[in-house]
Amino acid sequence: DWNSGNVIAEQVERIRAQVGTGRVLSALSGGVDSAVSTALVHEAVGDQLVAVFIDHGLLRKGEREQVENDYVASTGVRLITVDARETFLNALAGVSDPEQKRKIIGREFIRAFEKVQQELIAEAAAEGDPIRFLVQGTLYPDVVESGGGAGTANIKSHHNVGGLPEDLQFELVEPLRTLFKDEVRAIGRELGLPAEIVGRQPFPGPGLGIRIVGEVTADRLEILRDADAIARAELTKAGLDGEIWQCPVVLLADVRSVGVQGDGRTYGHPIVLRPVSSEDAMTADWTRLPYDVLSKISNRITNEVREVNRVVLDVTSKPPGTIEWE
């Protein structure tokens, strides 16, 4: 019988056995997977763990603050924030291919972590105790979809499984590798994490970088962040968070269509809403959102985000569509 208390006890023991007295870095992303895996490792090894939050500039509105304030307050984890926004933007310049974006983002993630590792090693030189371990919030579905599981073909290279560079200097600690999302949430609740973090909808590691169809630029990120914040706020206000697995908001950055606003003709970008219902992200159906909520989101986005003149709804199940557009 599955029981979150048992899983925690079992994982804590496994983590201690793997890590010993070693130091551990954690890849904290702001999402529920990394929040729970980090809290689990913190539970197991306490101050041997340092959590690092890379602000890659592909985050949604308010996410950095949520990690720096709420998460730290509730766990007592030692957190280092790295501002890598410029590095990521430069690395992504001119790149439109989804797989290439994923590889670049994954590579830059690891590089940023390694840089912090070097700094922390220098700091800890007196103690002569290098950081050799890296926590990853990899779930069972990630493992399967990246071809590491039951012989499934590689559909997308998830950056936390398939996109790691050859020169990786860390040994991975992956305490969620056998778990599904609902199990991870149960463990998070059991560990006493705040409800907003535990109940958070999944958000991909590559962030908004794979929700801009086309090249990622600072301006485009700003447009998408604004539209996404509106959609999230309205869905929450309508009490629909529990019914939706996640709702990617996608910017079709290379598409323009003609519109009219006030007296003027516009030539703006479409935003796609992709609300899905799912058990484990392996399959999904599009969520039948109430028309009044869709209408509110559409009106607000087109009124408040200047560059967007059209909002469209994705009504495709998975398969054949994936949840994300890239």
The binding site for ligand XMP (CB under 6 A) comprises 102, 156, 158-160, 202, 204-206, 246, 281, 318, 322-324
Both tokens assigned to 37:
């895996």
Shortest Å, Cβ 156 to ligand XMP: 5
CA 270 to chain centre: 23
Distance of closest approach, residue 134 Cβ to ligand XMP, in angstroms? 15
Q: How far is the CB of 54 from ligand XMP (least distance, A)?
A: 13
The answer to the question of whether 218 is labelled as a binding residue is no
Nearer to ligand XMP, 266 or 316 (CB): 316
Residues 6+ apart with CB under 8 A from 201: 241, 244, 245, 246, 247
Residue 29 C-beta: closest distance to ligand XMP, Å:
8
Whole-angstrom distance, CA of residue 171 vs CA of residue 131: 10
- Closest approach, Cβ 152 to ligand XMP, in A, equals 12
Q: Which is nearer to ligand XMP, 60 or 102 (CB)?
A: 102
Tell me whether residue 33 is annotated as binding. Answer: yes
Please check if 32 is assigned to a binding site.
yes
What's the closest the beta carbon of residue 216 comes to ligand XMP, in angstroms? 14
Contact 44, 12 (CB under 8 A): yes
Phi, psi at 125, each rounded to 5° = -55, -40
Between 242 and 262, name the residue whose CB sits nearer to ligand XMP: 242
Mapped onto helix, strand or coil, the DSSP state of residue 308 is strand
DSSP secondary structure, 53-90, as one string: EEE-S-PPTTHHHIIIIIIHHHH---EEEEE-HHHHHH
Identify which of residues 56 and 156 has a Cβ nearer to ligand XMP in the complex. 156
29 is in an annotated binding site: yes
d(CA 100, CA 96): 8
Tell me: is residue 264 an annotated ligand-binding position.
Answer: no
**Which one, of 291, 305, 290, lies nearest residue 224 by Cα?**
305
Nearer to ligand XMP, 102 or 296 (CB): 102
Query: Residue 82 annotated as binding?
Result: no
188 versus 206: smaller Cβ distance to ligand XMP: 206
Is 31 assigned to a binding site? yes
Distance of CA 117 to the CA centre of its chain: 22
Annotated binding site: 29-35
Annotated binding site for ATP: 29-35
